[in-house]
C-alpha cells in the first residue's frame, strides 16, 4: 500500500482548535517519514473495526501509544510535540487475510518512536507506552505487537544478561554441546527431602541442571528453606560423584521483592550457582533480580510462566519475540523459548526466530522466522534459550538440528519417567546427546541418520534403549496457532 498523501493538518490554528480530529489529521500518520537510526520502531498487527480505514487505525495506535488523547488539547503547543508524536509511516495488508480468504483483513502498521519518549534502562517505562492504554482502544478489534527494533543508542542504556552464555559456560566448564536439565516432578507435593532425592538422582545420572517448577515457591508441603537446603546437599553430592559442576535452579519467586532478595541471599550463602524467577514477577522485579545476580555472580534463569495468555493468539497480544527482546535487555541469562517438537505451542521457524533473538549479536531481517527488522545488539551478552516441555531422548537429532549447541534441553518427564529410574533417565539423555553431537561433528547428516545413531548408542547403553522403547511413538503434532505470515519463496536455481 504505497500511499504518499499526508493527511496532517499543517495550519496550526486549525490543528489546535478545540474539538475532535482524526488521528491522521493530528500528525500520527506520516507516510513519507524516514525512521531515524535512534528511533524505536514497532510493527503492530491491526484489525480495524468496520468502517475504520487502515491509515487511521495505524495513526490511532501511534497516537495512543505516545502523546495523544481523544480530543485536541492546546497544551500540546507548550511542547516540541512533533518529536513526541509517534509516527505511523507504513501500512501493509497482512498476506492471506481479507477478501477471498477465511480471515478478516489485517494490516501490519509500522510506527516509529523518538528515543526521547523512553526512560533509559527501563523496560517498565517502554512497555507502559508501547503496550499501555492502546491495547484496549475501541476502534480496533484486535492489536498485536509483532516485533520491535530497539536502537543501539537505547540498548546501551541496558546492562543485559547478568552472566551471558559465554561466562556461564566458563563457570560451568561445559562446552561444545547443549546443556541438559530436568524439572523436578511432580511439581507439587514433594517434601524437601524427597524433592532433593530427585535432584540428586538426575544430576548424578548425567544432567547438568535440575529445576524448580514455576509454581514451586513456599507452600505448606515444602517451605522454601527446606527446599534450598536439601537441593544444595543433592547438588554437592552429585558434583562429588561426577567431578562436574552441577546446579539446581532455585526459584526465588515470592510475594514481595524483599522476600525474593531474602531467598536469593540464602541461595548464595549455600553456594548455589543459579537462581530462578518467573516472568509473572514483572519487569521491574526482573531488572532488580538481574542487578542482584550480576552483583552476586549468579546465573539468572527465567521461566516464562504466563506468557501464553498474551503471546499465543495471532491477532491480539504480543509476540514472544518481543518479550524475548525485552528479557535480553532486562538481563536474564536463561529463558524458556519453546521446543517446536514438544508439548507446548510453537511452530519450528517461529521458535528458531526467538532463539536467534536470544543468541545472535546481530539479527538480520528474516520474515519466515518472524523477524521483521535488522537488530544490532551492540555487544549485549547473549541469553541461553531453554527448550522445555514434552521432549525426550528419541528427538535428540531434531533438537540438535533445530537449535544447535547454545541451548538448555530440559527433559523432565523424559528423565524422571524412565522405567529404570531417574539416574538411568538422565544417563540416557546424556548419552543420546553426546552421541549426536559427536556424529554431527563427524559430518554425519543427523536428521536422516538420527534414529540410526541413537540405535547404535543404545546397543551399549541399556538406559538409552529403554528410553527409546518407551517413548518412541510420542509426538505432539498439532497445528500451531502462531505461525509466520511469510512463506519462503522458492528461487529458480541457476
Partner 1 sequence: MRITQGTFSFLPELTDKEIQAQIQYALNQGWSCSVEYTDDPHPRNSYWEMFGHPMFDLKDAAGIMMEVNNCRKTFPNHYVKINAFDSTRAIESIRLSFIVNRPKDEPGYKLVRQEAGGRTVRYTTVPYSADKPAGKRY
Q: Compose the 380-419 pattern: x for residues touching partner 1 by CB under 8 A, - for all others.
A: --x-------------------------------------
Count Cβ atoms below 10 Å from residue 174 Cβ, excluding itself.
15
Query: Which lies closer to partner 1 via its Cβ, residue 161 or residue 317?
Result: 161
Query: Which lies closer to partner 1 via its Cβ, residue 242 or residue 296?
Result: 242
- Burial state string for 14-43 with b = 16 or more CB within 10 A and e = fewer than 16: ebbeeeebbbbbbbbbbbebebeeebbbbb
Determine the Cα–Cα distance for residues 430 and 464; give it in Å rounded to an integer.
9
Determine the Cα–Cα distance for residues 234 and 212; give it in Å rounded to an integer.
13
Residues 315, 366 contacting (CB under 8 angstroms): no
Query: Which lies closer to partner 1 via its Cβ, residue 166 or residue 455?
Result: 166
Site for partner 1 in 180-209 (CB under 8 A): 206
Q: Provide the pairing of β-strand 107-113 with 87-93.
A: antiparallel
237 contacts partner 1 (rule: CB under 8 A): yes
Site for partner 1 in 130-189 (CB under 8 A): 166, 169-170, 173, 175-177
374 contacts partner 1 (rule: CB under 8 A): no
397 flagged as catalytic:
no
Residue with cell 481479507: 98
Instruction: Give me the half-sphere count of Cα atoms (radius 13 Å) on the Cβ side of residue 440.
Output: 22
Q: With contacts defined by CB under 8 A, name the span among 69-77, 287-295, 424-432, 446-454 that binds partner 1.
A: 424-432
Q: Compose the 448-487 pattern: x for residues touching partner 1 by CB under 8 A, - for all others.
A: ---------x--x---------------------------
Number of residues that bind partner 1 (CB under 8 A): 39
233 contacts partner 1 (rule: CB under 8 A): yes
Query: Which lies closer to partner 1 via its Cβ, residue 152 or residue 229?
Result: 229
438 flagged as catalytic:
no
Q: Give the DSSP H or E segment for 182.
A: strand 179-183
Bond prior to 186 in cis (omega within 30° of 0): yes
Q: Which of 329, 431, 453, 458 binds partner 1 (CB under 8 A)?
A: 431
Please identify which of the residues 141, 185, 343, 438 carries the catalytic annotation.
185
Between the CA of residue 162 and those of 332, 385, 492, what are the distances in Å? 6, 15, 46
Cell digits of residue 493: 536455481
Residues that bind partner 1 (CB under 8 A): 166, 169-170, 173, 175-177, 206, 225, 229, 232-233, 236-237, 239-245, 269-271, 361, 379, 382, 427, 430-431, 434-435, 437-438, 441-443, 457, 460
Residues designated catalytic: 185, 303
Amino acid at each position: 500500500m504505497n500511499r504518499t498523501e499526508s493527511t496532517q493538518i499543517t495550519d496550526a490554528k486549525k490543528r489546535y482548535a478545540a474539538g475532535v480530529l482524526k488521528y491522521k489529521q493530528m500528525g500520527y500518520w506520516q507516510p513519507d517519514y524516514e525512521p531515524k537510526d535512534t528511533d524505536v520502531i514497532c510493527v503492530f498487527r491491526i484489525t480495524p473495526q468496520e468502517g475504520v480505514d487502515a491509515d487511521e487505525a495505524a495513526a490511532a495506535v501511534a497516537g495512543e501509544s505516545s502523546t495523544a488523547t481523544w480530543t485536541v488539547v492546546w497544551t500540546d503547543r507548550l511542547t516540541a510535540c512533533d518529536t513526541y508524536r509517534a509516527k505511523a509511516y507504513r501500512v501493509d495488508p497482512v498476506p492471506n487475510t481479507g477478501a477471498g480468504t477465511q480471515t478478516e483483513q489485517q494490516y501490519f502498521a509500522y510506527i516509529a518512536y523518538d528515543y526521547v519518549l523512553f526512560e533509559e534502562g527501563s523496560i517498565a517505562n517502554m512497555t507502559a507506552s508501547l503496550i499501555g492504554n492502546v491495547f484496549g482502544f475501541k476502534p480496533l478489534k484486535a492489536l498485536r505487537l509483532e516485533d520491535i527494533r530497539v536502537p543501539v543508542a537505547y540498548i546501551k542504556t541496558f546492562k543485559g544478561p547478568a552472566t551471558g552464555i559465554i561466562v556461564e559456560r566458563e563457570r560451568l566448564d561445559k562446552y561444545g554441546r547443549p546443556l541438559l536439565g530436568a524439572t523436578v516432578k511432580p511439581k507439587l507435593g514433594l517434601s524437601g527431602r524427597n524433592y532433593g532425592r530427585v535432584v540428586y538422582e538426575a544430576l548424578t545420572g548425567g544432567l547438568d541442571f535440575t529445576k524448580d517448577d514455576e509454581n514451586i515457591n513456599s507452600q505448606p508441603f515444602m517451605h522454601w528453606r527446606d527446599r534450598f537446603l536439601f537441593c544444595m546437599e543433592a547438588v554437592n553430592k552429585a558434583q562429588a560423584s561426577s567431578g562436574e559442576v552441577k546446579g539446581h535452579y532455585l526459584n526465588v519467586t515470592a510475594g514481595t521483592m524483599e522476600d525474593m532478595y531474602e531467598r536469593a541471599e540464602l541461595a548464595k550463602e549455600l553456594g548455589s550457582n543459579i537462581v530462578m524467577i518467573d516472568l509473572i514477577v514483572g519487569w521491574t522485579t526482573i531488572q532488580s533480580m538481574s542487578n542482584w545476580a550480576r552483583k552476586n555472580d549468579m546465573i539468572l534463569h527465567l521461566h516464562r510462566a504466563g506468557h501464553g495468555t498474551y503471546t499465543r493468539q495471532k491477532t491480539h497480544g504480543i509476540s514472544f519475540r518481543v518479550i524475548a527482546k525485552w528479557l535480553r535487555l532486562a538481563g536474564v541469562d536463561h529463558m524458556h523459548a519453546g521446543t517446536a517438537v514438544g508439548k507446548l505451542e510453537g511452530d519450528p521457524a517461529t521458535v528458531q526466530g526467538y532463539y536467534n533473538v536470544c543468541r545472535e549479536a546481530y539479527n538480520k531481517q528474516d520474515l519466515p522466522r518472524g523477524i521483521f527488522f535488522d537488530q544490532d545488539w551492540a555487544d549485549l551478552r547473549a541469553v541461553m534459550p531453554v527448550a522445555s516441555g514434552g521432549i525426550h531422548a528419541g528427538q535428540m537429532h531434531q533438537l540438535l538440528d533445530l537449535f544447535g549447541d547454545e541451548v538448555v534441553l530440559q527433559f523432565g518427564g523424559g528423565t524422571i519417567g524412565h522405567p529404570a529410574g531417574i539416574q538411568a533417565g538422565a544417563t540416557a539423555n546424556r548419552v543420546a546427546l553426546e552421541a549426536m553431537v559427536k556424529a554431527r561433528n563427524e559430518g554425519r547428516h543427523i536428521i536422516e541418520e538420527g534414529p540410526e545413531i541413537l540405535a547404535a548408542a543404545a546397543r551399549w547403553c541399556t538406559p538409552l534403549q529403554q528410553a527409546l522403547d518407551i517413548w518412541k511413538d510420542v509426538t505432539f503434532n498439532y497445528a500451531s496457532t502462531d505461525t509466520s505470515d511469510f512463506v519462503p519463496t522458492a528461487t529458480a536455481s541457476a
